[in-house]
Amino acid sequence: MTSDGPALTGIERPGGLRLFRSLERVAREEIVTAGTRVRRVRGQSFFRQGAVAHNFHVLLEGRVKLTQLTPEGQMVLLRLVVAGDAFGGVAALGNRTYPVSAVAAENCEALAWGGRTVDRLLRRHPQFAINLIEFLADRLHDMQARYEELATEQVEQRLARVLLRLVGRTGRRVESGVLVDVRLSRQDLAEMTGTTLFTVSRILSRWQDAGVIQSKRQRILVCHPHGLVSIAEALPGPNGGGAVPSDDRH
């Protein structure tokens, strides 16, 4: 999109790229120029689960789906990567294998670094390593939270959460609400929620009747986000929070 300093497209945008936070301009430039520009059109993949991991990526433009395929052939959609996010490839450090597949959900542009390069950069720029550690810790905590949800909540609640997360990551304000600005089929939503497309369809229909959302094919408009929130937090009723004890310190 930018015309000047194209090597930084997307990189300078606010909010994104926590991975480069607190790095001096020189360091940042060294890291960015060490990467290779990669493009994928909708449907192409960056890498596939099981393949030997070569690259670490940061998405500059577009959306990427990270999916995992079970031995029985079921698909699970683990994460929707948006511009600014890093993905797939800490695996590239050891000579490992990608644990997920990464498919472009729209036309995409990313930066890619080979395993050796990442290793070199991490050693040269401790702040970069620390940023990566924080990024991974966040991903881990996120997965833990979602594991907990999957283990304890019902489908309707989980679907509400999925939608809210999508609104947060890809939402675009329009007159009648917030539009989830990615093409996602009922099947995709099911794979993100741990349910079936039938159940998703039924729930969305119900929500539409209730006026909370408005859904066309592969497109969802959230008219009344607060409605989703109260579904996500479960109707069971307000339970108080707990105290916050502390028994460590060194």
Partner DNA sequence: CGCTATTTTGAGATGGCTCAAGCTATGTGG
Partner DNA sequence: CCACATAGCTTGAGCCATCTCAAAATAGCG
* SS3 of residue 101 by DSSP: strand
Ordered alpha helix ranges (H), 55-185: 115-124, 126-152, 155-170
Quote the tokens at residue 193: 């929620």
Q: Which stretch binds a copy of itself (CB under 8 A): 8-16, 94-102, 171-179, 217-225?
A: 94-102
Is the torsion defined by CA of 8, 132, 57, 170 positive or negative?
negative
Interacting residue with a copy of itself among 90, 162, 212, 222 (CB under 8 A) = 90
Q: Tokens standing for 30?
A: 């060294």
Residue 107: CB minimum distance to a copy of itself, A = 16
Token code pair at residue 165: 């997360």
Rounded CA separation 153/161 (Å): 10
Q: Is residue 91 a contact point for a copy of itself (CB under 8 A)?
A: yes
Residues in 197-216 at the binding interface with DNA, rule: CB under 7 A:
197-199, 201-202, 204-205, 208, 215-216
Residues that bind a copy of itself (CB under 8 A): 36, 38, 44-48, 50-52, 54-55, 68-74, 76, 78, 90-91, 93-94, 99-100, 112-114, 119, 122-123, 126-127, 129-130, 132-134, 136-137, 139-141, 143-148, 150-153, 194, 233-234, 236, 239, 241-242, 244-250
